[in-house]
Protein backbone atom coordinates (compact mmCIF):
# COMPACT_ATOMS: atom_id res chain seq x y z
CA UNK A 1 0.00 0.00 0.00
CA UNK A 2 1.36 3.41 -1.00
CA UNK A 3 1.68 6.20 1.52
CA UNK A 4 -1.08 8.23 -0.15
CA UNK A 5 -3.55 5.36 0.06
CA UNK A 6 -2.59 4.88 3.70
CA UNK A 7 -3.30 8.59 4.23
CA UNK A 8 -6.79 8.03 2.75
CA UNK A 9 -7.45 4.79 4.56
CA UNK A 10 -6.25 5.83 7.98
CA UNK A 11 -7.19 9.25 9.20
CA UNK A 12 -5.37 8.80 12.51
CA UNK A 13 -2.13 7.95 10.65
CA UNK A 14 -2.54 11.15 8.66
CA UNK A 15 -3.40 13.25 11.71
CA UNK A 16 -0.47 11.82 13.68
CA UNK A 17 1.95 13.03 11.02
CA UNK A 18 0.24 16.40 10.89
CA UNK A 19 0.44 16.87 14.66
CA UNK A 20 4.01 15.57 14.87
CA UNK A 21 3.23 12.32 16.71
CA UNK A 22 5.53 9.40 16.03
CA UNK A 23 2.61 6.95 15.83
CA UNK A 24 -1.17 7.03 15.51
CA UNK A 25 -1.41 5.28 18.92
CA UNK A 26 -1.02 8.75 20.49
CA UNK A 27 -4.73 9.32 19.89
CA UNK A 28 -5.67 6.17 21.82
CA UNK A 29 -4.03 7.48 24.99
CA UNK A 30 -5.49 10.96 24.43
CA UNK A 31 -8.99 9.49 24.06
CA UNK A 32 -8.66 7.28 27.16
CA UNK A 33 -7.51 10.32 29.12
CA UNK A 34 -10.37 12.40 27.72
CA UNK A 35 -12.89 9.84 28.96
CA UNK A 36 -11.31 8.86 32.29
CA UNK A 37 -9.15 11.82 33.32
CA UNK A 38 -6.29 9.41 33.61
CA UNK A 39 -3.51 12.00 33.79
CA UNK A 40 -5.04 14.21 36.44
CA UNK A 41 -2.64 14.68 39.37
CA UNK A 42 -0.02 12.43 37.72
CA UNK A 43 3.67 13.40 38.02
CA UNK A 44 5.79 10.26 37.64
CA UNK A 45 4.96 7.97 34.75
CA UNK A 46 6.57 4.86 33.33
CA UNK A 47 5.82 4.16 29.66
CA UNK A 48 6.48 0.45 29.08
CA UNK A 49 6.92 -0.73 25.47
CA UNK A 50 7.19 2.87 24.42
CA UNK A 51 8.88 2.84 20.98
CA UNK A 52 8.61 4.75 18.74
CA UNK A 53 7.38 7.08 21.47
CA UNK A 54 4.01 8.64 20.70
CA UNK A 55 2.59 7.83 24.16
CA UNK A 56 5.69 9.43 25.69
CA UNK A 57 5.08 12.48 23.50
CA UNK A 58 1.50 12.72 24.80
CA UNK A 59 2.69 12.31 28.39
CA UNK A 60 5.39 14.94 27.95
CA UNK A 61 3.01 17.41 26.35
CA UNK A 62 0.37 16.90 29.04
CA UNK A 63 2.53 16.65 32.14
CA UNK A 64 5.54 18.88 31.60
CA UNK A 65 5.51 22.62 32.06
CA UNK A 66 6.27 24.51 28.87
CA UNK A 67 10.02 24.79 28.31
CA UNK A 68 10.00 28.55 29.05
CA UNK A 69 8.67 28.01 32.58
CA UNK A 70 11.45 25.59 33.41
CA UNK A 71 14.28 27.39 31.67
CA UNK A 72 13.54 30.98 32.65
CA UNK A 73 13.11 31.15 36.42
CA UNK A 74 13.14 34.96 36.31
CA UNK A 75 9.96 35.01 34.23
CA UNK A 76 7.09 34.88 36.68
CA UNK A 77 9.36 33.54 39.44
CA UNK A 78 7.91 30.04 39.21
CA UNK A 79 10.66 28.48 37.08
CA UNK A 80 12.81 26.95 39.83
CA UNK A 81 9.77 25.49 41.54
CA UNK A 82 8.50 24.17 38.21
CA UNK A 83 11.88 22.51 37.56
CA UNK A 84 11.92 20.88 41.01
CA UNK A 85 8.32 19.81 40.63
CA UNK A 86 8.67 18.65 37.03
CA UNK A 87 7.10 15.38 36.04
CA UNK A 88 9.38 12.40 35.41
CA UNK A 89 8.61 10.28 32.39
CA UNK A 90 10.61 7.10 31.89
CA UNK A 91 10.30 5.21 28.62
CA UNK A 92 11.19 1.52 28.30
CA UNK A 93 11.41 -0.57 25.13
CA UNK A 94 13.42 -3.34 23.52
CA UNK A 95 14.16 -0.96 20.67
CA UNK A 96 15.75 2.47 20.75
CA UNK A 97 13.32 5.30 21.23
CA UNK A 98 15.56 8.32 21.07
CA UNK A 99 19.13 7.14 21.39
CA UNK A 100 21.44 8.35 18.73
CA UNK A 101 23.24 5.59 16.96
CA UNK A 102 26.09 5.56 14.54
CA UNK A 103 27.59 2.22 13.86
CA UNK A 104 28.44 -0.43 11.34
CA UNK A 105 25.94 -3.13 10.64
CA UNK A 106 26.52 -6.40 8.87
CA UNK A 107 24.17 -7.53 6.13
CA UNK A 108 23.36 -11.17 5.48
CA UNK A 109 26.15 -11.51 2.91
CA UNK A 110 28.67 -10.45 5.52
CA UNK A 111 29.59 -7.03 4.14
CA UNK A 112 29.60 -4.18 6.60
CA UNK A 113 27.86 -0.94 5.86
CA UNK A 114 27.91 2.22 7.89
CA UNK A 115 24.71 3.88 8.91
CA UNK A 116 23.78 6.50 11.36
CA UNK A 117 20.22 6.56 12.51
CA UNK A 118 18.82 8.82 15.09
CA UNK A 119 15.59 10.07 16.44
CA UNK A 120 15.31 13.40 18.12
CA UNK A 121 15.00 13.12 21.88
CA UNK A 122 11.54 13.70 23.31
CA UNK A 123 12.01 16.58 25.70
CA UNK A 124 11.60 15.55 29.31
CA UNK A 125 11.53 11.80 28.60
CA UNK A 126 14.28 9.57 29.97
CA UNK A 127 14.93 6.40 28.07
CA UNK A 128 15.72 3.41 30.23
CA UNK A 129 17.85 0.53 29.00
CA UNK A 130 15.53 -1.92 30.80
CA UNK A 131 12.86 -3.92 29.01
CA UNK A 132 9.90 -5.95 30.15
CA UNK A 133 11.35 -9.26 31.24
CA UNK A 134 8.96 -12.20 31.12
CA UNK A 135 8.52 -13.65 34.57
CA UNK A 136 7.44 -17.21 35.29
CA UNK A 137 4.35 -17.76 37.39
CA UNK A 138 6.60 -18.69 40.33
CA UNK A 139 8.19 -15.25 40.20
CA UNK A 140 4.71 -13.80 40.05
CA UNK A 141 3.61 -15.49 43.25
CA UNK A 142 6.69 -14.15 45.00
CA UNK A 143 6.22 -10.69 43.52
CA UNK A 144 2.71 -10.51 44.86
CA UNK A 145 3.61 -11.62 48.33
CA UNK A 146 6.09 -8.80 48.73
CA UNK A 147 4.90 -6.02 46.49
CA UNK A 148 5.11 -2.28 46.90
CA UNK A 149 7.65 0.07 45.39
CA UNK A 150 11.12 -0.55 46.77
CA UNK A 151 10.10 -3.73 48.67
CA UNK A 152 11.59 -7.21 48.25
CA UNK A 153 10.05 -7.53 44.86
CA UNK A 154 12.25 -9.48 42.43
CA UNK A 155 11.23 -7.08 39.68
CA UNK A 156 12.87 -4.35 41.73
CA UNK A 157 16.26 -6.00 41.32
CA UNK A 158 16.01 -6.13 37.55
CA UNK A 159 14.25 -3.70 35.27
CA UNK A 160 12.37 -2.21 38.22
CA UNK A 161 15.50 -0.92 39.97
CA UNK A 162 16.78 0.63 36.75
CA UNK A 163 13.46 2.42 36.21
CA UNK A 164 13.14 3.50 39.86
CA UNK A 165 16.67 4.94 39.57
CA UNK A 166 15.45 7.21 36.77
CA UNK A 167 12.54 8.25 39.00
CA UNK A 168 15.10 9.15 41.70
CA UNK A 169 13.59 6.46 43.91
CA UNK A 170 10.08 7.96 43.85
CA UNK A 171 7.36 5.46 42.98
CA UNK A 172 5.30 5.99 39.85
CA UNK A 173 1.81 7.49 39.82
CA UNK A 174 1.01 5.73 36.59
CA UNK A 175 2.45 2.84 34.55
CA UNK A 176 1.25 2.47 30.96
CA UNK A 177 1.99 -0.39 28.60
CA UNK A 178 1.03 -0.36 24.93
CA UNK A 179 3.22 -3.40 24.36
CA UNK A 180 2.84 -5.88 21.58
CA UNK A 181 5.42 -8.57 20.82
CA UNK A 182 6.46 -9.01 17.19
CA UNK A 183 3.73 -11.18 15.66
CA UNK A 184 4.72 -14.56 14.25
CA UNK A 185 1.40 -15.07 12.46
CA UNK A 186 0.58 -18.12 14.59
CA UNK A 187 -2.55 -16.77 16.27
CA UNK A 188 -2.62 -18.85 19.46
CA UNK A 189 1.08 -18.37 20.07
CA UNK A 190 0.90 -14.62 19.48
CA UNK A 191 -2.03 -14.33 21.84
CA UNK A 192 -0.21 -16.35 24.49
CA UNK A 193 2.92 -14.16 24.25
CA UNK A 194 0.78 -11.03 24.42
CA UNK A 195 -0.83 -12.31 27.64
CA UNK A 196 2.59 -13.07 29.11
CA UNK A 197 3.73 -9.56 28.26
CA UNK A 198 0.65 -8.11 29.94
CA UNK A 199 1.18 -10.22 33.05
CA UNK A 200 4.87 -9.28 33.23
CA UNK A 201 4.01 -5.60 32.79
CA UNK A 202 1.47 -5.92 35.62
CA UNK A 203 4.11 -7.45 37.90
CA UNK A 204 6.55 -4.70 37.03
CA UNK A 205 3.84 -2.10 37.66
CA UNK A 206 3.28 -3.59 41.12
CA UNK A 207 6.96 -2.96 41.84
CA UNK A 208 6.87 0.61 40.58
CA UNK A 209 3.55 2.10 41.66
CA UNK A 210 2.73 4.16 44.68
CA UNK A 211 -0.43 3.24 46.59
CA UNK A 212 -3.37 4.76 44.74
CA UNK A 213 -1.48 4.70 41.40
CA UNK A 214 -2.83 3.52 38.06
CA UNK A 215 -1.97 0.97 35.37
CA UNK A 216 -3.05 0.93 31.72
CA UNK A 217 -2.24 -1.93 29.37
CA UNK A 218 -3.16 -3.13 25.92
CA UNK A 219 -5.06 -6.41 25.73
CA UNK A 220 -6.38 -8.46 22.84
CA UNK A 221 -9.89 -9.80 23.17
CA UNK A 222 -9.01 -13.08 21.52
CA UNK A 223 -10.28 -16.60 22.00
CA UNK A 224 -8.77 -16.72 25.47
CA UNK A 225 -10.22 -13.43 26.58
CA UNK A 226 -11.89 -15.16 29.50
CA UNK A 227 -8.46 -15.90 30.94
CA UNK A 228 -7.55 -12.30 30.41
CA UNK A 229 -10.64 -11.18 32.23
CA UNK A 230 -9.54 -13.44 35.05
CA UNK A 231 -6.25 -11.56 35.11
CA UNK A 232 -8.22 -8.33 35.15
CA UNK A 233 -10.16 -9.77 38.06
CA UNK A 234 -6.89 -10.49 39.82
CA UNK A 235 -5.76 -6.97 39.06
CA UNK A 236 -8.93 -5.74 40.70
CA UNK A 237 -7.91 -7.35 43.96
CA UNK A 238 -4.92 -5.00 43.99
CA UNK A 239 -6.67 -2.06 42.31
CA UNK A 240 -9.88 -0.36 43.42
CA UNK A 241 -11.22 -0.08 39.97
CA UNK A 242 -10.79 -1.86 36.63
CA UNK A 243 -12.41 -0.99 33.30
CA UNK A 244 -11.70 -2.07 29.75
CA UNK A 245 -11.60 0.76 27.18
CA UNK A 246 -11.91 0.87 23.43
CA UNK A 247 -10.72 4.22 22.06
CA UNK A 248 -12.20 5.41 18.79
CA UNK A 249 -8.70 5.55 17.30
CA UNK A 250 -8.48 1.76 17.73
CA UNK A 251 -10.09 0.04 14.75
CA UNK A 252 -13.29 -1.85 15.43
CA UNK A 253 -11.91 -4.58 13.27
CA UNK A 254 -9.03 -5.00 15.74
CA UNK A 255 -9.37 -7.05 18.89
CA UNK A 256 -7.27 -4.52 20.72
CA UNK A 257 -8.61 -2.86 23.88
CA UNK A 258 -7.03 -1.30 26.97
CA UNK A 259 -7.45 -2.37 30.55
CA UNK A 260 -7.37 0.64 32.90
CA UNK A 261 -6.77 -0.09 36.58
CA UNK A 262 -6.86 2.64 39.19
CA UNK A 263 -6.38 2.92 42.95
CA UNK A 264 -3.41 0.57 43.45
CA UNK A 265 -3.61 -1.07 46.88
CA UNK A 266 -0.40 -3.06 47.45
CA UNK A 267 -0.66 -6.19 49.55
CA UNK A 268 0.38 -5.53 53.11
CA UNK A 269 3.56 -7.60 53.23
CA UNK A 270 5.18 -11.04 52.90
CA UNK A 271 2.72 -13.86 53.31
CA UNK A 272 -0.31 -11.68 52.72
CA UNK A 273 -3.01 -13.41 50.72
CA UNK A 274 -4.76 -11.35 48.09
CA UNK A 275 -7.89 -9.78 49.50
CA UNK A 276 -11.15 -11.32 48.37
CA UNK A 277 -12.31 -9.30 45.44
CA UNK A 278 -14.64 -6.55 46.37
CA UNK A 279 -16.08 -4.86 43.32
CA UNK A 280 -14.65 -1.44 42.68
CA UNK A 281 -16.50 1.66 41.64
CA UNK A 282 -17.39 0.22 38.27
CA UNK A 283 -16.88 -3.55 38.14
CA UNK A 284 -19.54 -5.75 39.62
CA UNK A 285 -19.93 -9.36 40.67
CA UNK A 286 -22.95 -10.92 39.06
CA UNK A 287 -24.51 -13.72 41.06
CA UNK A 288 -25.03 -16.73 38.79
CA UNK A 289 -26.67 -18.97 41.33
CA UNK A 290 -25.35 -20.97 44.30
CA UNK A 291 -21.57 -20.86 44.59
CA UNK A 292 -21.03 -19.18 41.29
CA UNK A 293 -20.41 -15.58 40.42
CA UNK A 294 -18.90 -13.86 37.44
CA UNK A 295 -16.92 -10.68 37.43
CA UNK A 296 -18.20 -8.16 34.94
CA UNK A 297 -15.56 -5.65 33.96
CA UNK A 298 -17.24 -2.65 32.35
CA UNK A 299 -16.42 -1.84 28.76
CA UNK A 300 -16.06 1.87 28.02
CA UNK A 301 -15.96 3.46 24.55
CA UNK A 302 -13.58 6.44 24.49
CA UNK A 303 -13.35 9.35 22.09
CA UNK A 304 -15.96 11.79 20.82
CA UNK A 305 -18.82 10.12 18.95
CA UNK A 306 -18.51 12.56 16.10
CA UNK A 307 -14.70 12.16 16.04
CA UNK A 308 -12.96 10.43 13.12
CA UNK A 309 -13.70 6.73 12.75
CA UNK A 310 -10.60 4.54 12.52
CA UNK A 311 -12.33 2.09 10.14
CA UNK A 312 -13.50 4.69 7.59
CA UNK A 313 -11.67 5.83 4.46
CA UNK A 314 -11.55 9.62 4.26
CA UNK A 315 -10.87 11.29 0.93
CA UNK A 316 -7.94 13.68 0.79
CA UNK A 317 -8.31 17.07 -0.88
CA UNK A 318 -6.61 17.92 -4.22
CA UNK A 319 -3.99 20.03 -2.39
CA UNK A 320 -3.17 17.20 0.04
CA UNK A 321 0.48 17.30 1.04
CA UNK A 322 1.97 13.90 1.69
CA UNK A 323 4.05 14.06 4.87
CA UNK A 324 6.85 11.64 5.68
CA UNK A 325 6.81 9.64 8.91
CA UNK A 326 7.72 11.62 12.03
CA UNK A 327 10.00 8.87 13.29
CA UNK A 328 11.25 6.48 10.64
CA UNK A 329 12.02 3.10 12.23
CA UNK A 330 15.60 2.56 13.34
CA UNK A 331 17.34 -0.43 11.78
CA UNK A 332 14.13 -1.63 10.15
CA UNK A 333 14.62 -5.12 8.69
CA UNK A 334 12.94 -4.00 5.44
CA UNK A 335 15.81 -1.59 4.79
CA UNK A 336 18.26 -4.47 4.64
CA UNK A 337 15.94 -6.39 2.32
CA UNK A 338 15.66 -3.35 0.06
CA UNK A 339 19.43 -2.91 -0.02
CA UNK A 340 19.88 -6.56 -0.87
CA UNK A 341 17.40 -6.26 -3.70
CA UNK A 342 19.10 -3.14 -5.02
CA UNK A 343 22.47 -4.92 -4.80
CA UNK A 344 21.13 -7.90 -6.72
CA UNK A 345 19.66 -5.61 -9.40
CA UNK A 346 22.98 -3.75 -9.71
CA UNK A 347 24.88 -7.04 -9.97
CA UNK A 348 22.44 -8.30 -12.63
CA UNK A 349 22.75 -5.02 -14.59
CA UNK A 350 26.57 -5.17 -14.36
CA UNK A 351 26.58 -8.80 -15.49
CA UNK A 352 24.29 -7.94 -18.40
CA UNK A 353 26.50 -4.97 -19.36
CA UNK A 354 29.67 -7.13 -19.08
CA UNK A 355 28.20 -9.80 -21.33
CA UNK A 356 27.86 -7.19 -24.06
CA UNK A 357 25.33 -7.26 -26.88
CA UNK A 358 24.65 -10.69 -28.40
CA UNK A 359 26.78 -11.34 -31.49
Tell me the catalytic residues. Answer: 218
Closer to ligand SAM by Cβ: residue 197 or 283: 197
Where does this chain touch ligand SAM (CB under 6 A) — which range of 18-26, 66-74, 231-239, 286-294? 18-26
CB 147 within 8 A of CB 162: no
Closer to ligand SAM by Cβ: residue 87 or 132: 132
Interface with ligand SAM in residues 122-181 (CB under 6 A): 131-132, 178-181
Among positions 46, 149, 197, 229, the unique one binding ligand SAM when judged by CB under 6 A: 197
Residue of 161, 265, 165 whose CA lies nearest to 213: 265
User: What's the min distance (Å) between Cβ of 88 and ligand SAM?
Assistant: 18
Closer to ligand SAM by Cβ: residue 35 or 93: 93
Where does this chain touch ligand SAM (CB under 6 A) — which range of 8-16, 75-83, 89-97, 300-308? 89-97
Q: How far apart are CA 318 and CA 58, in angstroms?
A: 31
CB 79 within 8 A of CB 69: yes
Residue of 330, 280, 339, 287 whose CA lies nearest to 119: 330
What DSSP string runs through 91-135? EE-SS-SS--EEEEEE-TTS-EEEEEE--PPPTTEEEES---PPP
- Distance set, CA 195 to CA 51, 173, 189, 217, 230 (Å): 19, 23, 10, 11, 11
Among positions 14, 17, 22, 144, the unique one binding ligand SAM when judged by CB under 6 A: 22
Interface with ligand SAM in residues 44-83 (CB under 6 A): 49-55
User: What's the min distance (Å) between Cβ of 112 and ligand SAM?
Assistant: 25
- Distance set, CA 176 to CA 1, 141, 216 (Å): 31, 22, 5
Instruction: Determine if 91 is a binding residue for ligand SAM (CB under 6 A).
Output: no
Number of residues that bind ligand SAM (CB under 6 A): 22
What's the Rg (C-alpha) of the chain?
23
User: What's the min distance (Å) between Cβ of 53 and ligand SAM?
Assistant: 5
Among positions 13, 17, 25, 213, the unique one binding ligand SAM when judged by CB under 6 A: 25
User: What's the min distance (Å) between Cβ of 77 and ligand SAM?
Assistant: 36
Q: Is the dihedral of CA 202, 207, 208, 209 positive or negative?
A: positive
Helix (H, G, I), strand (E, B) or coil at 89: strand
Q: How far apart are CA 263 and CA 93, in angstroms?
A: 25
Closer to ligand SAM by Cβ: residue 59 or 167: 59
Where does this chain touch ligand SAM (CB under 6 A) — which range of 23-31, 62-70, 106-114, 247-255? 23-31
**Can you give the binding site for ligand SAM, defined by CB under 6 A?**
22-23, 25-26, 49-55, 92-95, 131-132, 178-181, 197
Amino acid sequence: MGRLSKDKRDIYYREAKREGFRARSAFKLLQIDEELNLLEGVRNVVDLCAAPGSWSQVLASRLLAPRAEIEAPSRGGGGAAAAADAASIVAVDMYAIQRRRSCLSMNSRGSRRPFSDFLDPIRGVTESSAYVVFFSSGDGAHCRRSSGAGGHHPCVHGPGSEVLGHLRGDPADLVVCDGAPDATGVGDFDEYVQHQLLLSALLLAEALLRPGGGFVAKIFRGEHAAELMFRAAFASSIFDDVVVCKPRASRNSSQEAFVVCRGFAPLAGPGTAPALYSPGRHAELVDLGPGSARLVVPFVACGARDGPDADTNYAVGPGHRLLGPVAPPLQAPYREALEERRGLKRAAAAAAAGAGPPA
